[in-house]
A and B are shown apart, each in its own frame.
Chain A
Amino acid sequence: MTGQKGLFSTSVGRKNLMAITGLFLAFFLIIHLLGNLTLLFGTNEEAMEHFNEYSHLLGSLTIIKLVSYALYAAIITHALDALLIILKNQKAHGDKYVSFDASATSPWYSRNMGVLGSIILIFIVLHMGNFWAKYKLGIGAEGLDQFTYDSGETGVNLYKLVVATFKMEWLVGVYVISMIALGYHLYHGVNAATRSIGVYHKKWMKTMETCGKIFAVVISFGFAIVPVVVYFIR
């Protein structure tokens, strides 16, 4: 057909990519949160046992490895696509208004998805440095406690690493603030994503909007509470 552009090169297509990667990341958060919540229950010994065995199990599954590569790709694609969209949208602007009241027509978080996303991106780098780099790559892992799994293998005691990390008040603060940013990003993002991929049925749009907002609140609250509770009870 004449003038047809690629799947992801138009203003609509770009948003499709944004939405698909965003929803994939959002789905991953559910699994991630369930794992983290094991840190909160039982005695210190029980929590250590559950959390370490769970992490080890995940790490040993091929499917999880594949999913993790997909996650890295999704984060990079999502952030780059966001950058492209933002740059293109800036080019679409005329001269600046002398007086303009943006808050009269839209909520602040919907206008600052790029800022919220950037906070999340910085957080992801910090977060992976805190745990992933030490646990998976062994960077800065010298002298960390070792743990023997049920299977007889040994590895970094991730539970102790987490507890030690969350004894730093400033870091707990950074985690909580980042999760608030994540919450707002999802509060707008999940609903936007369903519209970007073209869910247009009135009833479904309403349902997805409500579910998206509940999801955003539950996920961000769930993630934020973990470092705080670990700081106080572990």
Chain B
Amino acid sequence: MKIHLKIWRQDNANTPGKMVAYDLDNLSPDMSFLEMLDYLNEQLAAKGERTVEFDHDCREGICGQCALIINGQAHGPEDHYTTCQTHLRTFKDGETIFVEPFRAKAFPVLRDLKVDRGSFDRIIQAGGYISAMTGMAPEANSIPIHHNISESAFDSAACIGCGACVATCKNSSAALFTSAKISHLVKLPQGEVERQERVIMMVNQHDDEGFGSCTHTGACAVACPQEVSLDNIARMNYEYNRALCEIDS
């Protein structure tokens, strides 16, 4: 099949970028979107041009590295898919596809389609940890946890940190990411020790990184490849208010 690409090209964070058109032919509908970009890059390399830079790692939907805005939607037109799991059969033969980096003040573009998502790491560092005994690894089943609770914590923990929520949010808010990390730990007994300070530190870090305020449009949860629920945000807000009431008592 044939695809007309319009790809964001930018040399570095300090130079302006622009959309550049590339036409590809002889593509298989079973190619993944990233394989198509590899194919394009081989052609560019053969011509001696600079290849298109984009993030990727596992290419099986689990690492959260791949991150593209494809035709105006994070990870492409299908809900709850990563870019690497998007295939050309999703598109029409001869279609024009716009490819852009995830955009937010807190996700500066490094080059082409690659952005710096270090702000997410710093939110995790601010409170995404638990206290644990040193020494031997503890017996895995020593703390009984109800099945429903462990499943619910796992649903929150499913977040792979790709940033599609931020890229899609009209407020560039990282509320879904931050709340998923907070909920995942607060739902489990292991997270109890840092319960109050975790939510306060992580929300503060979220704000300091320059992310916006959530207005519950729900766009993040639709774009999320892992179907992380909007309910996590309500849980974060509850934990935040509760922590403010408890913290000095």
Contact = CB atoms under 8 A, between A and B. Distances in A.
Interface string B214-234: 111111101100000011011
B212 A100 contact: no
Nearest to A85: B213
A110 B217 contact: yes
Given A92-B212, A104-B73, A200-B234, A111 B172 contact: no
Contacts of B216: 110, 188, 191-192, 195-196
A89 B234 contact: no
Nearest to A19: B237
B71 interface: yes
Nearest to A102: B170
Interface stretch (B24-32, B96-104, B139-147): B96-104
Contacts of A228: none
B237 A195 contact: yes
B194 to A, nearest CB: 12
Contacts of B206: 11
A10 B203 contact: yes
Contacts of B211: 11, 92
Nearest to A5: B204
B87 interface: no
B71 A99 contact: yes
Contact of B234 (A3, A14, A92, A205): A205
A111 B235 contact: no
Interface in A22-51: none
Contacts of B241: 12, 16, 197-198
B166 to A, nearest CB: 9
Contact of A92 (B105, B196, B235, B238): B105
B204 A10 contact: yes
Contacts of A65: none
Q: Main SS of chain B's interface residues?
A: mixed
Interface string B236-247: 111111101001
A13 B19 CA distance: 39
Q: Which of A93, A99, A196 has the most CB of B within 10 A?
A: A99
A199 B238 contact: yes
B162 to A, nearest CB: 15
A158 interface: no
A110 B215 contact: yes
A192 B237 CA distance: 12
A99 B72 contact: yes
Contacts of A136: none
B173 interface: yes
Interface in A189-229: 191-192, 194-200, 202, 205
5 contacts: A89-B173, A104-B73, A195-B216, A198-B236, A200-B237
Interface of A: 1, 3-5, 7, 10-16, 85, 88-89, 91-102, 104-107, 110-111, 113, 188, 191-192, 194-200, 202, 205
Nearest 4 CB-CB pairings of A with B: A198-B238, A94-B103, A101-B72, A92-B212
Given A12-B240, A15-B213, A89-B173, 13 more contacts: A1-B200, A10-B204, A10-B240, A11-B203, A93-B105, A93-B212, A98-B19, A101-B73, A104-B77, A107-B217, A111-B170, A197-B237, A199-B238
